Structure 1
Amino acid sequence: MKVLPEDVRPYKRTPVFTEEMVPPGLLRQHTTKEGAWAKIVVLEGRLLYRILAPEVNEILLTPDQCGVVEPQVPHEVSPDGAVRFFVEFHRVPGE
């Protein structure tokens, strides 16, 4: 599993989403902006995190396992039953 680089800092966070209110854009292929990393934090339940390039990699996220999104790497998520999660965006300060 990828880890956030040591030099990035959080700059924005989404509201908490549930399986019933996940924004449609998160359920299909999308990317972060150039230079933007993201950390997917599951508070309750399970969320399937699918990295789509350079090869497909599926990771089941739980409260004990966060997901790390690299800048501009296509990915999507899918709830695995009841879930509560948020996404925290990170970047290098000053960029």
Structure 2
Amino acid sequence: MKNELICYKQMPVWTKDNLPQMFQEKHNTKVGTWGKLTVLKGNLKFYELTENGDVAAEHIFTPESDIPFVEPQAWHRVEALSDDLECTLGFYCKKKIISVKNTT
């Protein structure tokens, strides 16, 4: 699957102090969109959520972590676990629909 995806939008580097509030609350990605978190420094907690907002699983990610893609429409949220956090987020889609993503 990873080879079928292409990054169409890369967010800036965020720290604990400027991590967008919307990402710290329950949200999901759009249909056909995968998210890819990258932790550059520090620790980030990732919560897999149910549609009702209950925690289904928790993960702590570091720069050494092999962080999986967040599947389309998967409910989740993140939390900064360290003061030195630096992370970024890329949005991916299948190569065959990149032209559609670039025009919307």
Partner of 2:5: 8
Q: In the TM superposition, what is the alpha-carbon distance from 1:41 to its structure 2 partner?
A: 0.2
Q: Distance in 2 between matches of 1:50 and 1:67?
A: 13
Alignment of 1:1-95 (within 5 A): 5-53=2-50, 56-65=56-65, 66-82=67-83, 83-95=85-97
Alignment deviations for residues 26-71 of structure 1 (CA, whole Å, 9 cap, x no partner): 0000011101001100000000000103761111010011242110
Give TM-score, length-normalised by structure 1. 0.89
Runs of 4+ in 1 over 2 A off after TM superposition: none
Greater strand fraction, Structure 1 or Structure 2 = 1
Alignment deviations for residues 59-93 of structure 1 (CA, whole Å, 9 cap, x no partner): 10100112421100000000001200000111102
**Highest CA radius of gyration, 1 or 2?**
2
Q: Distance in 2 between matches of 1:47 and 1:67?
A: 14
Q: How many percent of aligned residue pairs carry the same amino acid? A: 29
Q: Distance in 1 between matches of 2:68 and 2:23?
A: 14
Greater helix fraction, Structure 1 or Structure 2 = 2
Give TM-score, length-normalised by structure 2. 0.82
Question: Secondary structure at 2:96's aligned position in 1?
Answer: coil
Q: How many residues are treated as equivalent by the alignment?
A: 92
